[in-house]
Structure 1
């Protein structure tokens, strides 16, 4: 039996989750055609940095979560900052690889989390569905990394750096095997869906539309061009905007479910009809962040306008700036690893 369920609602899901990947690809194509590479930096400032900010709101903005995870919320970032400083000092390349790998894992888990919310809202899926869905995300993403021209050059180059040269024939064999394994798993996944339906479990078709649109963005941008610009812009738009939207609605629902006297301070940013206040707070944070790391404000201009002079700073400040940038990213990954467990009944209250 098919049961439809939406994260926000039919119209809002269509805008933010189902059509967003196509919009992001269109914007990326436009940026690639008309703008310089600075456009990707601008998207990062306008979208990625604010999506870090809403993570801080989500994790530290409510008394309930602070009381639940106080030790994690205090000790975790302190340890991460120490590790980032150590990595920048003694093993910068290792730190870079860890950040890249964690970022990809975080990307997969965010979209997987949305898939779980779709099943939660529709009360669909069986006991084995989460495991099959997670495997689907990992296998499709690994296949993308192995076979797409955008990423092939990176892992082939790294093999050469490790003194493991591979021939063109070897690369083709690896990619063929990857496609075969992916196709085989998709067959098993289809069998799982059929068995679920026959056993009486319901299936939410909207979830599969969401998964398909997400992977359309990644596969299209990775196969369309070998430039990281288009992939980076499209991915950051989809990933960041979807995250900002779900945090906004989560906090809003949480605050509305409480008596006015029991609401948190963050309630002022998520009141109905006050969405511009929430957006303004995100942009102010992005500006402050840019000033703290000593980067020019002109990078908000997508390479079209130049309204601020270049900053100049010494090597010591450069390390400090890189530490702040890396710390913000890893802390976001860390917090997201435990504040979005869809099976948690307290979290379900905001979904």
Structure 2
């Protein structure tokens, strides 16, 4: 048999330690651990009768403030405090916030409802794509190249996130909102039919993935991808229970936020440690030399300042945490609201660039 016609040898399986993005302990902790924490909080909420009420203040502080808002500010360490990264793509990093703010002012001037609708859908897209991104990174880490497997992995992670969103849109109003009540477009008659068609497809994809995952665990060790399996299964469980299974503000909050924000903290901290070890990024990377808590404390402080401004200038709520309102500046909301939303909107956009392996040669995730 000639060399050109010989069958290609299957790719060698990676060593067990290289199946994880960070390490077995960290990956299991941030992906499986965050999902188990979400489900445990749901159980606590059911016991305390919180599933039929608005999320309590302690839930807002621990999940929204310290995880959701705070994780947005970690982008600053990935981009704006990294001297070498800023020099690599200055136009992207400097013009994006300016563009986002100008667009925000234009949208808000047409009405607050339009502004919040666009921002909510940008957030939804970001949340969905992040879960797909984890799956893609795990596939690359293990070296999965098969087309059928890629198709099934892509289909199942989008089904795990998009089917609950479709169900949500078909059953508006719900007891919860992504950002503000009314920020989603309501088309119940049309989308009700779509849900009826999508539901059997959803369960078929979930079943196919589980069968394939079970076969990989029962077969050759080289075909296993435990990190990917954790991401897919926990995403499906948390999104389904938080959106479809319960019509509850509390349930949606604890399932939506924790599994999104906690792994992102780990990703940015891990990246910063690698930059520090490679002596790249400049002096700001030294913050990662002091362990995770200095890094977390700094983004917590930034999140608190942001929310203080939101509540004093716009929401006029939670005076017990943020103090009295500044009502005399309410007339500037068309400028202030897009400015305060700038960190999260910039985070949504830049996140689509800064973790792509092809355009980030210094990203050792593959």
Q: Report TM bin, short chain.
A: 0.7 to 0.9
2 CA distance for matches of 1:307 and 1:330? 25
Q: 2: CA distance between counterparts of 1:97 and 1:177? A: 26
Work out whether 1:246 is the aligned partner of 2:264: no
Distance 2:117 2:321 in 1: 34
Name which of 301, 304, 308 aligns with 1:284.
Answer: 301
Query: How many equivalent residue pairs?
Result: 333
Structure 1 pair 105/130, CA: closer, same or farther in 2 (3 Å)? farther
C-alpha distance 321-29 of structure 1, shift in aligned 2 (>3 A): farther
Q: Is the CA contact (8 Å cut-off) linking 2:28 and 2:227 kept in structure 1?
A: no
Larger RCO (alpha carbons 8 Å, 6+ apart): 1
Structure 2 gap segments, 5+ residues each: 1-11, 175-180
- 1:85 corresponds, among 105, 114, 127, to 105
Structure 2 Cα separation of the partners of residues 94 and 289 of structure 1:
22
1:256-309 deviation line (CA, Å, top 9, x unaligned)? 123xxx5522222111x522211221122122223333539xx99xx8x94553
Unmatched tracts of structure 1, length 5 or more? none
- Measured against aligned partners, the alpha-carbon deviations of 1:161-196 in whole angstroms (never above 9, x if no partner) come to 87x7739xx93x543211123245557768998999
Give CA-to-partner distance per residue, 1:242-269, whole Å, 9 cap, x none: 11111100111122123xxx55222221
- Tell me by how many angstroms 1:233 deviates: 2.8
CA contact 2:135–2:232 (8 Å) conserved in 1: yes
Name 2:125's counterpart in structure 1: 105
Partner of 1:310: 324
Helix, strand or coil at the partner of 1:166: helix
Report the aligned-residue RMSD: 3.7
| Distance in 1 of aligned mates of 2:84 and 2:150 | 27
* Map of 2:234 onto structure 1: 213
Moved more, 336-345 or 48-57: 336-345
Report the TM-score, using the length of structure 2 for normalisation: 0.77
Residues in 1 aligned to 2:216 and 2:358: alpha-carbon distance in whole angstroms: 20
Matches within 5 A, 1:1-351: 5-30=19-44, 33=48, 36-42=55-61, 43-126=63-146, 129-130=149-150, 132-147=152-167, 152-154=171-173, 166=189, 171=192, 173-185=193-205, 202-258=223-279, 262-271=280-289, 273-295=290-312, 306=320, 309-313=323-327, 314-344=329-359, 346-349=361-364
Seen in structure 2, the aligned counterparts of structure 1 residues 282 and 115 have a Cα distance that, compared at 3 Å, is same
In the alignment, the residues of structure 2 paired with residue 130 and residue 344 of structure 1 have an alpha-carbon distance, to the nearest angstrom, of 21
CA offsets 1:45-64 (integer angstroms, 9 cap, x no match): 11122211111111222233
